[in-house]
Amino acid sequence: MKMRPKSKTGQERPAAWDGAAPTSPDGLPDEDTATYQEITSRLEAFCRERGMKLSADRGPLLADLVQMRKLWGDYYCPCQPERSPETVCVCEAVKDGLVDVMGACFCGLIVG
C-alpha cells in the first residue's frame, strides 16, 4: 500500500496531494501561484505588524496551506487536526501570543 507523503509537521497530507511540496511558486501549477502569493503576502504583513517573521523553511508549509485552500476552501493550518475558523492561518493561538510564549507557531511557519 502506497503511503501519502507527510507534511513537515508529520501530519499526513490530504489524498489529493500528488507530490513533494514545492519550495517556491515556480514549482506550483499556474493556477496555484496566485494563491501562494496571496497567503505569503498576508503572512508577511501580519509578521511585519507583530515583529515576527516567516520561517526560513516556509516553502513546503506555504504549499500545504495552498493545498488546504484548494481542498477545503480556506488556509487551514496543516498541523491542526480540525478545520475551523480558529485554525485558519494566522490561527487564533498565534494572534493571542503563542509565538511570544513558545517562539514559533504550532507548525513552525511563524517565528519570533
Q: Is residue 2 part of a domain?
A: no
pLDDT one-digit tens code per residue, 11-27: 554 444 444 444 445 56
The tally of domains found in the chain comes to 1
Q: Is residue 24 part of a domain?
A: no
Where is pLDDT greater, at 4 or 80? 80
| Confidence (pTM) | 0.73
pLDDT one-digit tens code per residue, 75-91: 999 888 899 999 999 99
Q: Is residue 20 part of a domain?
A: no
Q: Is residue 101 part of a domain?
A: yes
Q: Which domain holds residue 62?
A: 31-111
Q: Is residue 6 part of a domain?
A: no
CA angle 111, 21, 53 (to 5 degrees): 15
For the domain that residue 50 is a member of, what is the CATH number?
3.90.460.10
